[in-house]
A and B are shown apart, each in its own frame.
Chain A
Amino acid sequence: MSRMRTDTFTVNGERREVAYPAHHTLLEVLREELALTGTKHGCDLGECGTCTVLVNGEPILACLAMAADMAGKSIETVEGLATGPVLHPLQRCFADMGAAQCGYCTPGMLMSAKALLAENAAPSEDEVRSALAGNLCRCTGYQQIVEAVRAAGSELKTQGCGAKGAASHG
Chain B
Amino acid sequence: MLRLPELDFLSPSTIEEALQMLADDPSGTRVLAGGTDLVPNLKRRHQHARRLVSLGRLASLRGVSGDPAHGLRVGAMTTLRSILKNEVLEQHWPGLIAAVRSISSPVLQSMGTIGGNLCLDTRCTYYNQTEEWRSAIGYCMKEAGDTCWVAPSSSRCWAIAASDAAPLLCAIGARVRLASTRGERELAVEALLCDDGIAYLSKAPDEVLTDVLLPPAGTWKATYWKLRRRGSIDFPVLGVGTALRVGKNGVVEDVRIFLGAVASAPVRALAAESILQGHILDETTLVSAGKAAQEVATALDNTDFTMTWRRQMIPHYVAGTLRELADLPRVGLLGADGLEC
Contact = CB atoms under 8 A, between A and B. Distances in A.
Q: So, do A and B actually touch in the complex, CB under 8 Å?
A: yes
Contact of A68 (B6, B9, B39, B111): B9
Interface in B90-144: 104-108, 110-111
B8 interface: yes
B106 A130 contact: yes
B102 to A, nearest CB: 12
B2 interface: yes
Q: Which one of A41, A44, A46, A61 has the greatest number of beta carbons of chain B within 10 Å?
A: A46
B203 interface: no
Interface string B36-67: 10011001100000001010100000000000
A46 B9 contact: no
B6 A3 contact: yes
Q: How large is the interface on A (under 10, 10 to 19, 20 to 34, 35 or more residues)?
A: 20 to 34
B107 A45 contact: no
A59 B36 CA distance: 14
Interface in A1-42: 2-3, 5, 21-25, 27-28, 41
Nearest to B82: A58
Given A59-B107, A135-B107, A46 B36 contact: yes
Interface residues of B, number: 32
Interface string B1-44: 11111111101000000000000000000001011100110011
Nearest to A134: B105
Contacts of B86: none
A9 to B, nearest CB: 14
Given A5-B9, A60-B111, A69-B54, A44 B2 contact: yes
Contacts of B52: 66
B105 A66 contact: no
Contacts of B233: 47, 133-134
Given A23-B9, A64-B36, A59 B3 contact: no
Contact of B39 (A21, A46, A59): A46
Nearest to B105: A134
A134 B107 CA distance: 6
B8 A3 contact: yes
A65 B111 contact: yes
Interface in A49-86: 49, 52, 58-61, 63-66, 68-69
B292 to A, nearest CB: 34
Nearest to A129: B231
A131 B84 CA distance: 13
Nearest to A58: B110
B232 A24 contact: no
A131 B43 contact: no
Contacts of B291: none
A44 B43 contact: yes
Given A64-B40, A69-B56, A134-B105, A23 B110 contact: no
Interface in A82-102: none
A160 to B, nearest CB: 25
Given A25-B3, A61-B111, 15 more contacts: A5-B9, A23-B7, A28-B3, A45-B40, A46-B36, A60-B110, A61-B108, A64-B35, A66-B9, A66-B54, A68-B54, A69-B11, A69-B56, A112-B106, A134-B232
20 contacts: A2-B6, A3-B8, A23-B4, A45-B44, A46-B40, A49-B105, A58-B81, A59-B107, A59-B110, A60-B110, A60-B111, A61-B111, A63-B39, A66-B35, A66-B54, A68-B9, A68-B11, A68-B54, A69-B9, A112-B106
